[in-house]
Amino acid sequence: MADTLHADLLLTNAHLATMSPAGEPYGIIRDASVAIAEGRILWAGKITEQPAVIAKAEHDCQGQWLLPGLIDCHTHLVFAGNRADEFEQRLQGVSYADIARQGGGIRRTVQATREASEEALLALTLKRARTLMGQGVSCIEIKSGYGLDTDTELKMLRVARQVEQHLPVTVRTTFLGAHALPAEYQDDADGYIDLVCNEMLPQVKAENLADAVDVFCESIGFSREQTHKVFAAAQNLGLPVKLHAEQLSNLGGSELAASFNALSVDHIEYLDEAGVSAIAKSGTVATLLPGAFYYLKETQKPPIELLRKYRVPMALATDFNPGSSPVCNLPLMLNMACTLFALTPEEALRGITINAAKALGEAEHMGSIETGKLANILQMDISHPNQLSYEIGINPLNRVWHQGRMLTR
Ligand code: NIG
Ligand code: FE
């Protein structure tokens, strides 16, 4: 009996898309079972190789597929208002950057978010989080960046932190104080960066409100030098960094991010080979955001071939926000990444599972069905995991376990 496993739950009669890097594409194991104890995966593999298990409960998956919980590793989930009128302007040919330069864009959302109460923002955020959870999302990264003053940045992060207390979902928060220049600092970008580094960041750290720090490095955002200052301040406080980089032009932000061992560089349509080589060396994940590419009618594609050549892990995320990507749908990103960026369906699914976990520095705990990881598991009515990139708008999700607990839907 020494080898008998004691489990809280045994999932049997399933096919697994473990998304583990070893073995078959998608980490497929057919005719498999998964044993769960104390919220973690105790064992996963072929039924024929399963050790003896004494389980408190058993669930028959009836030949359906089990996948790891999905991870949306780049969102701006906390904001008030919407910018549908700017969408109409853009359809008439006005560019995203021009709208921003004329005081619209991010600043519009900043105004609405400053005016919203914490309760109102929380209600909006929970609604969006529930939408993602209904698609099988078990972990959401949420950024600040629509406050651009100390009080509102802290308010946004507190709202993001509260989500976990209301919903069975994991949240990782990111401080994005350097998202845009607020009107009060119109002619003093360096002064604003000082505020971010010397006032906002220390308070964010003191209240443990952020797991990482992000900057929008762009002509309509902040320069490389300003980004460097924020990264240095984050590093001093022991916070990891990531970057909105090379979205509209190539400012070399990714190389800077690599020099700080950034978790990820995100967007990266204009990333060149020197940048790809740099992030390959630093182990930084390339996060692709096809929703923003699509909404902005961008034509420059991220350098997928180079990312493959240098073996840079590619993650995918919604970038859900009211300007460049008002799309609260992570599975849709699978299809968009295949159609717009020529990812394979397997690369796309890795992008919202194991590589998204890497982009959050959480690959030890999430992103695949492997012994020791959190039991965030989806049961899906599909005939093969490639179907998830192929179909749009059909939700094959049948059951969800979050940290070993079945969620009622
Ligand atoms: O990820 N690029 C900068 N930030 C967001 C857009 C924010 C907005 O337009 O409100 C993005 O695309
Ligand atoms: Fe973003």
Q: b or e along 180-189 (b: 16 or more beta carbons within 10 Å of the residue's beta carbon)?
A: bbbeebeeee
Query: Is the CB–ligand 1 distance for residue 105 below 6 Å?
Result: yes
CA 243 to centroid of ligand 1, rounded, Å: 12
Contact 396, 384 (CB under 8 A): no
Minimal-distance CA residue to ligand 1 atom 3: 216
> Under CATH, which number does the domain 5-69+368-406 receive?
2.30.40.10
Query: Is the CB–ligand 1 distance for residue 298 below 6 Å?
Result: no
Mean pLDDT of 165-186: 97
Angle CA 376–377–382, to nearest 5: 155
Q: How many residues does the chain have?
A: 409
Joined tokens for residue 165: 């207390």
E strand intervals along 144-260: 170-178, 212-216, 241-245
Query: Is the CB–ligand 1 distance for residue 292 below 6 Å?
Result: yes
**Ligand number nearest to the C-alpha of 321:** 1
Query: Is the CB–ligand 1 distance for residue 321 below 6 Å?
Result: yes
**Ligand number nearest to the C-alpha of 72:** 2
Residue 397: strand pairing partners: 380
pLDDT digits (tens, 9 = 90+) for 69-94: 999 999 999 999 999 999 999 999 99
- On the question of a common fold for 5-69+368-406 and 70-359, the answer reads no
User: Which single residue is written with the structure tokens 């028959």?
Assistant: 60
Boundaries of every domain in the chain: 5-69+368-406, 70-359
Mean pLDDT of 61-65: 98
The pLDDT-based confidence of 1 (bands split at 50, 70, 90) is very low
**CATH level 3 topology of 70-359:** TIM Barrel (3.20.20)
Do the bridges between strand 137-143 and strand 170-178 make them parallel or antiparallel, or are there none, so unpaired?
A: parallel
Q: Tell whether the model's pLDDT for residue 409 goes beyond 70.
A: no
CA 393 to centroid of ligand 1, rounded, Å: 25
Minimal-distance CA residue to ligand 1 atom 8: 323
Roughly how many angstroms between the first and final C-alpha of the chain, as a whole number? Answer: 38
Contact 28, 17 (CB under 8 A): yes
Contact 176, 138 (CB under 8 A): no
Q: Tell whether the model's pLDDT for residue 286 goes beyond 60.
A: yes
266 CA: nearest ligand 1 atom = 1
pLDDT digits (tens, 9 = 90+) for 212-227: 999 999 999 999 999 9
Do the bridges between strand 397-402 and strand 405-407 make them parallel or antiparallel, or are there none, so unpaired?
A: antiparallel
User: Who contacts 153 (Cβ-Cβ below 8 Å, separation ≥6)?
Assistant: 144, 145, 147, 175, 177, 200, 204
* The predicted structure's pLDDT at residue 2: 54
E strand intervals along 217-278: 241-245, 264-267
Torsion angle, alpha carbons of 33, 34, 35, 41, to 10: 160
Q: Tell whether the model's pLDDT for residue 191 goes beyond 60.
A: yes
pLDDT above 70 as % of the chain: 99
Q: Is 252 left (phi over 0), alpha (psi -120 to 50) or beta?
A: left
Round to whole Å and give the CA distance between 267 and 300: 11
CA 147 to centroid of ligand 2, rounded, Å: 15
CA 236 to centroid of ligand 2, rounded, Å: 24
* The predicted structure's pLDDT at residue 214: 98
* The predicted structure's pLDDT at residue 103: 86
218 CA: nearest ligand 1 atom = 2
Joined tokens for residue 7: 């489990």
Query: Is the CB–ligand 1 distance for residue 322 below 6 Å?
Result: yes
Which of 83, 220, 244, 316 for a ligand 1 pocket mutation test, highest count of atoms within 8 Å of Cβ? 244
Do the bridges between strand 137-143 and strand 53-60 make them parallel or antiparallel, or are there none, so unpaired?
A: unpaired
Query: Is the CB–ligand 1 distance for residue 385 below 6 Å?
Result: no
CA 350 to centroid of ligand 1, rounded, Å: 24
pLDDT digits (tens, 9 = 90+) for 355-389: 999 999 999 999 999 999 999 999 999 999 999 99
Joined tokens for residue 308: 């493959």
* The predicted structure's pLDDT at residue 21: 85
Residue 392 CA to chain centroid, in angstroms? Answer: 20
User: Who contacts 172 (Cβ-Cβ below 8 Å, separation ≥6)?
Assistant: 139, 140, 141, 142, 211, 212, 360, 362
Which of 321, 328, 333 for a ligand 1 pocket mutation test, highest count of atoms within 8 Å of Cβ? 321
Contact 343, 337 (CB under 8 A): yes
Minimal-distance CA residue to ligand 1 atom 11: 324
